[in-house]
Structure 1
Amino acid sequence: MSTVTTKDGVEIFYKDWGKGQPIVFSHGWPLSADDWDAQLLFFLGKGYRVIAHDRRGHGRSSQVGDGHDMDHYADDLAAVTGQLELQNAIHVGHSTGGGEVVRYLARHGDNRVAKAAIISAVPPLMVRTDANPGGLPKEVFDDFQAQLATNRSEFYRAVAAGPFYNYNRPGAKPSEATIQNWWRQGMMGGAKAHYDGIVAFSQTDFTADLGKITIPVLVMHSEDDQIVPYADAGPLSAKLLKNGTLKTYKGFPHGMPTTQAETINADLLAFIES
């Protein structure tokens, strides 16, 4: 397997296919690079070099007990892009991966990066605070941790079969294969990484990070996102970015790169080639 070893000794697994301008994909919690299958194959077919890694503690990367925070996530991404000597890259992040991309750009700069896109992403801040009254109560995320600690397998099954893909909406037609693939990816990773990751994706404030980014960023978010509610995420991120563009969808789920891959891929391609 292809891996990068970080400064603190963590092995980060990655896929690196094709040639041409690189597109780097950062996945959501608690998944792996496999969640980008539809995008990797599409953009590979369009002549791009596609790269996707498993976040520390997720998928095939080391199941370490610490470092499950946005600074480490960003530094791990920098270790991958550095070893591969990427230039003029496009970075695409989904959900927690969107936060990872934002922190990476703010922390490591954009000298290697041409553009970025964040999809259903957690910035600016998910949890409710005095400064972020539209956020979700901390108790919501405390409950996520409690369910994970009690029965991670059952919890993951419920997330995938329900709100992640909007399979709990009236008239929805759940795909058992999609649900099982989400569960499979989640169970590949480590419980400690996923437990800590809930704090990382919900309590990290990306407000200052967004203001530091100058490259073009496409913010893609659905008004029917049940995991990262639209009003306190996509529109606010787009406003904080110096060169941000908001693309809003109606009726799409949080996991729209999978269930609505044709639309998402076309919109990403149009942005990259613009």
Structure 2
Amino acid sequence: MPFITNKNKKISVDIFYEDYGQGQPVILIHGWPLSRKSWEHQVWKIVESGYRCISYDRRGFGISSAPWDGYDYSSLASDLHELILHLKLEDVIIVGFSMGGGEVVRYCTDYGTDNVAKVALISSIIPLVKQKDDNPSGVPESALNDIKDALENDRVGFLKEFSKGFYNFEDNKDKVSQAQLDYDFIVASHASPRGTIEAAKAWMHTDFRDELQYVNVPTLIVHGDADGTVPIETSANQAAKGIKNNTFKVIKGAPHGLNITHKEELNKILIDFLNE
């Protein structure tokens, strides 16, 4: 089974990855609280379109190592960096979904973009989730604390309900099955309890607004205007203003988990961007 080992910051972490296809490498970074498996409907399309597609499990999730600490975004980006070095990838395209958008931006900040051709932010948390005086559309800290408390007190109970909002399930029963919700719950519930909480703290509280300047390659931004998990006003709308060279696509009626509910539309947008 393919793993790379990252010994950054004196913590040895084994990161599991899948590597399919040939051509220009496209790296997929999954959202919270899932794993690389969430990219199922994108991987085959990317490979079919002539690209090398690499997806991996964030530390603490899937079958990657689950250290006690090291879930800050610089540590997470160091896993991405080690993967690129280990596989000797060049001219890479990095795609981040939801929380994964943070690794994309922090990678550009910490390691630069000399080896990056393009990036994509899909339903991304970038640049800031939390409500602040200068970010009034953000999620109130009290609501974020409620999530943290729920994870600490009844993690699996919280995760069982979380995916319903992830997909706006009541409005999209024709696009997402109960089996998909069950599948997501299985994936999320098997993640590290500590990793799930610490990673949540990272996406809740990290402010990337000053880092948008380092995203200086062609960037695709895709977001659903019905995203109730990561509201478009505090994320994609701001990212599109802060990243100079971007293509911004809004999918009408799409929830957070548009990689499932609107997979055909997302795939077309993504492949067109890769081919440009």
Give the TM-score, by structure 2 length.
0.95
1:251 partner amino acid: G
Q: Is the aligned partner of 1:258 residue 2:241?
A: no
1:203 is matched with 205
| CA offset digits 1:127-181 (Å, max 9, x no partner) | 0122322211111111111111222222111011x21001033x74451111011
| 1:67-216 matched pairs, under 5 angstroms | 67-160=70-163, 162-169=164-171, 172-173=173-174, 174-216=176-218
The residue identity in structure 2 corresponding to 1:147 is A
Which residue in the other structure is 1:272 paired with?
274
Of 15, 31, 49, 1:46 maps to 49
Question: 2:261 and 2:63 mapped to 1: Cα distance?
Answer: 24
Displacement, 1:216? 0.5
Match 2:248 to one of 246, 249, 252: 246
Aligned residue in 2 for 1:232: 234
State whether structure 2 residue 9 is matched by structure 1 residue 6: no
Offset of 1:188 from its aligned partner?
2.1
Does the CA-based 8 Å contact 2:22-2:52 persist in structure 1?
yes
% same residue: 37
Secondary structure at 1:210 match in 2: helix
Partners in 2 of 1:227 and 1:217 — Cα distance?
22
1:186 deviates by 0.6
Q: Which amino acid aligns with 1:4?
A: I
In the alignment, is residue 24 of structure 1 matched against residue 3 of structure 2?
A: no
Give the gaps of 5 or more residues in structure 2: none
Q: State the secondary structure of the residue aligned to 1:114.
A: strand
Tell me the equivalent position of 1:219. 221
Moved over 3 A (4+): 171-174
Name the SS for the 1:56 alignment partner. Answer: coil
Task: Check conservation: 1:141, 1:198, Cα contact below 8 A.
Answer: no
3-state secondary structure, aligned to 2:39: helix
Partner of 1:58: 61
**Conservation of the 8 A alpha-carbon contact between 1:60 and 1:188:** no
Amino acid at match of 1:81: I
- How many residue pairs are counted as aligned between the two chains? 272
Deviation string 1:29-69 (CA, Å, 9 cap, x unpaired) is 01111111111111111121100110011110011110011
Match for 1:179: what amino acid?
Answer: L
Distance 2:113 2:179 in 1: 38
Letter in 1 for 2:263: A
- TM-score norm. by structure 1 comes to 0.96
